[in-house]
Amino acid sequence: MNTDKLSFRLATVANYVPKNAKLADIGSDHAYLPCYLAKNAGLPFAIAGEVAAGPFQSAERNVLSEGLSEIISVRMGDGLDVLKHEEVDCITIAGMGGALIAGILERGKDKLHSVKRLVLQPNISAISIRKWFLENDWELIAEEIIEEDEKIYEILVAEKGEPGKPYILAKKEQGLLLGPFLVQSQNQIFKKKWLLEIKNWQRIVSQLEGAAQTTETNQKKQEILDKIKLVEEALNGEESERS
């Protein structure tokens, strides 16, 4: 992967960045995404934000070597602290946990007033982001689930709007956990992910059943069983509709 050829994961994220967007890529690492968009999609302005010194210096080197210093500003700071007010209209955050991404958005809410689109790629716990959208008036408008190098990723795209609208398509609990759009389309990657999750949860339930039966253990077991039921209903429901 480099500034001319992104990984499939980052290329999918890039597909959702509007043309002519003023972009902030938070956790930009090598600044591959903003460099690629500036070179190949006419991106007029971008901020590559990094909290760690090593990735920050790598991003600086890449931007400088590509001759993109006039377009891409590389900044070191925590989350949305790298932004000034009303500076960007699109934010990408990729390659972090969903809870961490939601936390970054929550702490930087005052920087989101001019932002029209969020493109987020959590490695785990996409549910944390979907819940944050609901609580903060962001409408989930698109989702993708992809596989690369035997890892499965979800990409979530949101704009200001009607946060409850996507959940008309599916049960709210299912939509939050599985993705309201993804649960409707259910491609092979979606099925693979959730069948693996069910298997993992069943293993944990077996371990809990062999442990001391405390209130906490029983509660945790029931929570997992509820999730298994929720996912199985979604998968079986899709099969039932086809039969």
Domain boundaries, the chain: 8-168, 188-242
CB atoms within 10 A of CB 205: 16
pLDDT at residue 14 above 80?
A: yes
- What pLDDT sits at residue 4? 78
Q: Which CATH class is domain 8-168?
A: alpha beta
| Sheet (strand 151-160) strand order | 72-76, 45-50, 22-26, 90-96, 117-122, 151-160, 138-148
pLDDT band at 1 (very low <50, low <70, confident <90, very high): low
With contact defined as beta carbons under 8 Å apart, do 32 and 40 qualify?
no
Q: What are phi and psi of 149, to 5 degrees?
A: 50, 45
pLDDT digits (tens, 9 = 90+) for 70-101: 999 999 999 999 999 999 999 999 999 999 99
Distance CA 143, CA 24 (A): 20
Q: Which residues contact 220 (CB under 8 A, 6 or more apart)?
A: 208
- Residue 110 parent element (H or E): none
Q: pTM for this structure?
A: 0.93
- How much is the average pLDDT of 31-43? 95
Q: What is the mean pLDDT of the chain?
A: 94
Distance CA 86, CA 70 (A): 19
Q: Which residue type does 210 have?
A: G
Task: Report helix, strand or coil for 33.
Answer: helix
pLDDT at residue 170 above 90?
A: no
Distance CA 159, CA 138 (A): 6
Which has the closest alpha carbon to 97: 127, 68, 118? 127
Distance CA 79, CA 103 (A): 9
